[in-house]
Amino acid sequence: MSESTNPAVTRTHPPDLLMKLVNPVMKAFLRRGKGGPSEALMLLRFTGRQSGRQFEIPVAQQRIGDRLWVFTNSGWRANLRGGADVEVTLRGERLPMRALLDEDPASVAVKYRSMIEKVGVKNARRLGITVNVDRVPTLEELEEAVRQYGLSIVYLDPRG
């Protein structure tokens, strides 16, 4: 890793073809919820804001206190702006949740930095990013990545 020309943080996303092949298998596995990836992943179901179409996608989740967090830079997050009722399948159990999207660069940068410190620079890919420097990025570097790549956090709280 070098600090020369690359930005300190860049977006990471698996190739679309790989996701098309893997997601159906992963969805079936996560519905069963028995060990393995079901400890770090869950299914998120939501309705498209404009299309009204139902979506179900595997996402990485972090439990922080009583809340589930999803660190994302994917376009589907726009459906959760302003809050949305969603459903998650976590360890095979379907749970109604309320999703709140945080896209504020200052707030998101602080939380990404905290998670990078927790998981380590080399494991930042779990958060959908690559750290291109040999240290935890500064808040300013992370704020720039939030602006450039649409990094955000979805907070999920139980409904009812």
Whether 90 is in a domain gets the answer yes
Whether 2 is in a domain gets the answer no
Instruction: Give residue 158's pLDDT.
Output: 94
Instruction: Print the domain residue range for 26.
Output: 9-158
Which of 58, 153, 158 lies closest to 112, judged by CA? 153
DSSP string, 43-76: EEEEE-TTT--EEEEEEE-EEETTEEEEEE--GG
Instruction: Give residue 160's pLDDT.
Output: 67
Whether 137 is in a domain gets the answer yes
Whether 112 is in a domain gets the answer yes
Domain count, the chain: 1
Whether 1 is in a domain gets the answer no
**Burial class of 89 by CB neighbour count within 10 A (0 to 12, 13 to 18, 19+):** buried
Whether 147 is in a domain gets the answer yes
Torsion of CA 124, 127, 133, 139, to 10 degrees: -130
Whether 113 is in a domain gets the answer yes
Supply the mean pLDDT for the chain. Answer: 90
Q: How many CA atoms lie within 13 A of 83 on its CB side?
A: 5
Instruction: Give residue 2's pLDDT.
Output: 43
Ranges of residues in the chain with a pLDDT under 70 are: 1-4, 34-38, 160
> Where residue 50 sits, what CATH number does that domain have?
2.30.110.10
Whether 3 is in a domain gets the answer no
